[in-house]
A and B are shown apart, each in its own frame.
Chain A
Amino acid sequence: MKKLKRREFLQKGALVVAGAAAFASGVTVVAGAESWTARLKALNAHQGQTLLAMSRQLFPHPQLDDSYYIPVVQDLDAEAVNRRDTARLLEEGVARLDSLRGAKFVALTPAEQISVLKQVENSDFFVKVRNSELVSLYNNHRVWKKLGYPGASYPIGGYLHHGFNDLHWLPDPPESASPKPA
């Protein structure tokens, strides 16, 4: 049942499909770092790598490698294929990131990258990437696993018999406040 459920989810978005396909086949996306940029449709390799670096700085998690952030760029790319205004926003945004320190954004130190991003954080480009990443990254089931969120509980029949009240580091409330399950 869980598997079926998962497959259903996979049909929901390009991002999840892409992420999960790599996961299912056991390919580590990082190893083929060049090949993922080659598959981008609206963005070129440099733009892809720049947005990857940016997405890592926006929501950095040391325990997540590039394979968790590549779908963020792939989602932006998919939107840019269909929407010219998004494509232009990303092109111009990457160019701006490259222009603020006299060196390409990807060549900057992490601290320099953060300071560049602070300079542009009110721009439409920045807001676009941040809002898109919030969904792409935190709706990725592989990220859920890493951060301790199990997602759907319906496949296990809910938490009634799976720990909804299993916290033991505080005393149980009295039954008047919290009756026992029926």
Chain B
Amino acid sequence: MARYDYNDDSVVVIVGSGAGGGTLANELCRKGLKVVLLEAGAAQSPATFRNDEWFAFNQLAWLDKRTTSGSWRIARDFPNLPAWTCKTLGGTTVHWAGAALRFQEHEFRARTVYSNIAGANLLDWPLTLEELKPYYAKAEDKLGVTRTNDIPGLPGNNNFKVMYNGATRVGYRTVHTGRMAINSRPRDDRSACWQLGFCFQGCKSGAKWSTLYTEIPKAQETGRLDLRTRSQVLAVEHDKSGKATSVVYADKDGKQVRQKARLICLACNSIETARLLLNSHSSMFPHGLANSSGEVGKNYMRHTTGSVFGIFRKPVHMYRGTVMAGIIQDEAGLNTKRGFTGGFEFETISLGLPFAATFLRPGAWGRDYTRLLEQYDNMAGMWIVGEDMPQSTNAVTLHPTEKDQFGLPIPNVHYDDHPNDVAMRQYAYRRGAAVYEAVGAVETIEVPPYPSTHNLGTCRMSANPRDGVCNKWGQTHDIKNLFISDGSQFTTSGAENPTLTIVALAIRQADYIAAECSRHNI
């Protein structure tokens, strides 16, 4: 493994090792660039993962304190856990469920297609599906997405059988085991899925793509990656000309060190990327770095989510097998006749008993609730994931008084559901319940959103520097050697799970960075 000097200002520093940062590190190393990859968390492995929900949560999740505000239920149900993201090598690719979907063409043009929706701060992406297609293809090949590249779909589990039968009985047509970055047969030195049922806890079979055991070791093989775990970046610094020069981070011993850089790429997930820019304020940039637009932290999106669980007379054992290998796509398209704009997917989901007790009805207690839990064996579950509206007031901001272990302001995450989000969720609850009722559900449960796993938009791409933080390459409008490399770039959220798009953007960004470096533009 490479080890670069702290004063080596020819390196690319990437902050965060998940879908964006981990992929970018591998791509840049393969192009011959020197990369320092800084990850706040420690390195786990399939051997150290455990099939245990609470253990894994404590092992993998980002647990630094955060606060919440706004009308979303999370602020009431989980006031200090707005998001369920990771602090571990591989980032949220360790706990993601593996759903790997492309955005639809119209979703890149939300402002144009959805027109002017009151209260929504919609914008078209400065990018089209046509431009991204070649990179989606590369991303699908890299991740080994089922139903692409002649890779068969995963075999459906019991939870999918219930979804499939119910969905087809109510007339849905696009229902299958999904496009999943989980091997249905051995590929890329990784095994086929064992149907463990613990996708969220780190995949012990290695069948699910994670940068932890794909991109990062591949980058290390080039000899150009300097990987530093347990290294949490506290600030990005710049010189008098406004160019980014270095990062300051707390290393594994808690010592604060400065790493110089030729360019810096932030991929810390939407809450921490925005927080890092805001915390990096200086006399030259009093409102934070790359924030001349004032848009850093704003337009925070988390997808319109919720779950429907059905209770049946006979066992389902939903916890058996791949958690999210099941999808209904009929509601994903453009169709404004439903009383809202944008679309949503239904995807199978299951929770172990410990998390079912925590999440099925947050705040509930008493016999009505335990009676539900006693039917755990007979439950099937589906998750709603739909496009939410960007709003200027939905924002990651710095807490006015509370500080973290490094003395820096913690983030507050404010989110109000837009009326469009509420209408979509209510409609989706009804349709999801209808799916289960069609196969004999004796009861259905509308489950409110879990802490956000899809965190997007806090440094969005925009054609005009006034409207967003970065350009179509993820390069910040204000500082040309500072890049956004994660889901913070998303101009709008689409109806799809974001990882495939994050990976496609990272591959594309690597091409741009390498070209700009060779032209000595950065």
Contacts and interface: CB of A to CB of B under 8 A. Distances in A.
B196 A61 contact: no
B366 interface: yes
A160 B365 CA distance: 35
Given A139-B54, A154-B51, A182 B192 contact: yes
A150 B155 CA distance: 22
Nearest to B177: A178
Contacts of B185: 182
A180 B155 contact: yes
Interface stretch (B157-165, B213-221, B336-344): B157-165
Interface stretch (B126-134, B136-144, B316-324): B316-324
B479 interface: no
B419 to A, nearest CB: 28
Interface stretch (A20-28, A42-50, A169-177): A169-177
Contact of A147 (B53, B154, B366, B374): B374
B376 A149 contact: yes
9 closest pairs, A vs B, by CB? A158-B194, A178-B156, A152-B51, A164-B321, A149-B353, A138-B357, A167-B158, A159-B320, A164-B195
A154 B204 contact: yes
B197 A182 contact: no
Contacts, number: 155
Contact of A158 (B165, B195, B358): B195
A157 B370 contact: no
A60 B364 CA distance: 12
B415 interface: no
A160 B195 contact: yes
Nearest to B312: A169
Contacts of A159: 157, 194-197, 320-321
Contact of A58 (B152, B165, B365): B365
A61 B370 CA distance: 7
A109 B21 CA distance: 59
Nearest to A149: B353
Interface of B: 50-55, 152-158, 160-162, 164-165, 175-177, 184-185, 192-198, 204-205, 314-317, 319-321, 352-354, 356-358, 365-367, 369-370, 373-374, 376-377, 439
A61 B356 CA distance: 16
Nearest to A13: B54
A142 to B, nearest CB: 12
Given A61-B374, A152-B51, A179-B184, A165 B152 contact: no
A102 interface: no
B366 A165 contact: no
Nearest to A127: B363
Given A165-B156, A177-B176, A144 B320 contact: no
Contacts of A57: 365-366
Interface string A116-144: 01000100000000100011011100011
A158 B319 CA distance: 11
A111 B195 CA distance: 45
A182 B207 CA distance: 13
Given A170-B162, A173-B161, A60 B196 contact: no
17 contacts: A135-B358, A149-B352, A151-B352, A153-B196, A154-B51, A154-B196, A158-B195, A158-B197, A159-B320, A162-B320, A164-B197, A164-B320, A165-B157, A165-B158, A169-B314, A171-B165, A178-B177
Given A57-B366, A138-B353, A158-B205, A151 B51 contact: yes
A157 B207 CA distance: 13
B365 A173 contact: no
Contacts of A32: none
A18 interface: no
Nearest to A118: B366
Contacts of A114: 366
